[in-house]
A and B are shown apart, each in its own frame.
Chain A
Amino acid sequence: NAGVTQTPKFQVLKTGQSMTLQCAQDMNHEYMSWYRQDPGMGLRLIHYSVGAGITDQGEVPNGYNVSRSTTEDFPLRLLSAAPSQTSVYFCASSFSAANQPQHFGDGTRLSIL
């Protein structure tokens, strides 16, 4: 099993550009989520999904969209990139949403110029 796979690993964007961060898991997990990690602030939840077709907002959702058309995939879209979105983005999955260990990918390092 590959676990949680994130692509790309690195990306540089210009302000105003859009892009999609990909996340896929092969563990048949129902729950998937996206976090951003900024220095000194831990990880903050952006969006999450408790199953295919169901998504909801986390702590810092503004500027990001998600969809969950399959159990395996949970892409994160930046609609119009801003310098404040420069961060490291992590996707995670777990068997369910009820106090379960979450498995993280290795992240996408995103710079917005």
Chain B
Amino acid sequence: GENVEQHPSTLSVQEGDSAVIKCTYSDSASNYFPWYKQELGKGPQLIIDIRSNVGEKKDQRIAVTLNKTAKHFSLHITETQPEDSAVYFCAAERSFGGGKLIFGQGTELSVKP
């Protein structure tokens, strides 16, 4: 069935360093790829998304890249800050997929001051 693999499961970086989280999806019909940030005790919050007609998208310190041929997409956070510490989830959805997101397993990011 449809599957999204996310790596690494934990990531620890020093403040100011960059962090990269990678996801691989199995369904070639996937067309929409959001990233969510989840802080402790809260629900996931969308931080950036990308559609398959775009290879890269950037929003300040956050960027996402997509390689549809390889079925990979990645989240890049530059100049990390302690408030970036959270669990990050990638997800994939088909075109007109009925809102049915398939989530990765999550990455716990820790940014050390």
A residues with CB within 8 A of B: 4, 31, 33, 35, 40-45, 48, 50, 56, 58-59, 90, 92, 94, 96-107
Contact status of A42 and B43, CB under 8 A, knowing A50-B98, A99-B93? no
A56 to B95 Cα, complex, angstroms: 18
B51 interface hit (Cβ, 8 Å): yes
A99 to B99 Cα, complex, angstroms: 6
- Distance (whole angstroms) from the CB of B29 to the closest CB of chain A: 12
Segment at the interface with A among B12-20, B62-70, B102-110: B102-110
User: Is the CB–CB distance between A42 and B106 below 8 Å?
Assistant: yes
A45 to B4 Cα, complex, angstroms: 14
- Distance (whole angstroms) from the CB of B38 to the closest CB of chain A: 8
User: Is the CB–CB distance between B41 and A106 below 8 Å?
Assistant: yes
B44 interface hit (Cβ, 8 Å): yes
A100 to B46 Cα, complex, angstroms: 11
**A interface footprint on B1-34 (CB within 8 Å = 1, 0 otherwise):** 0001010010000000000000000000001101
A-B Cβ contacts below 8 A, count:
69
Chain A contacts for B61, CB-based, 8 A: none
20 extra interchain contacts, Cβ-Cβ under 8 A, other than A98-B95, A102-B34? A31-B99, A40-B9, A41-B105, A42-B6, A42-B103, A43-B44, A43-B89, A43-B101, A48-B99, A90-B44, A97-B96, A97-B98, A98-B99, A99-B93, A99-B95, A100-B99, A104-B43, A106-B43, A107-B42, A107-B43
A39 to B5 Cα, complex, angstroms: 15
Within 8 A of A (CB), among B33-58: 34, 36, 41-46, 49, 51
Chain B residue with Cβ nearest A107:
B43
Contact status of A48 and B45, CB under 8 A, knowing A42-B105, A43-B103? no
- Distance (whole angstroms) from the CB of B71 to the closest CB of chain A: 17
Chain A contacts for B45, CB-based, 8 A: 104
